[in-house]
Amino acid sequence: MQRKTISLPDDLAEFVDKNHINLSRFVQDKLRELSESDSDEEEITEEQAKEIYEKLEKLGYMDR
């Protein structure tokens, strides 16, 4: 596993120490959540598609 280094402000470093947070595990979990949510954002709902269409139509992009 590749290691990365991050810097924390003193107040956050103190919080991590005081609460015995496994920062490595925490960051890995959050990065996994972000990567999974990014892949979900590629698909849009029918309602979102309609809203996009309406906005494009108002801007004149849907004229045939």
pLDDT confidence bin for 40, thresholds 50/70/90: low
pLDDT for residue 21 is more than 70: yes
Kindly report the CA angle at 15 between 6 and 35, in degrees rounded to 5? 45
Provide DSSP, 25-49: HHHHHHHHHHHHHHHHTTS--HHHH
Q: What is the pTM of this model?
A: 0.48
pLDDT for residue 7 is more than 80: yes
Q: Where are the domains of the chain?
A: 10-58
pLDDT, tens digit, 9 for 90 and up, residues 42-64: 677 888 888 888 888 787 776 65
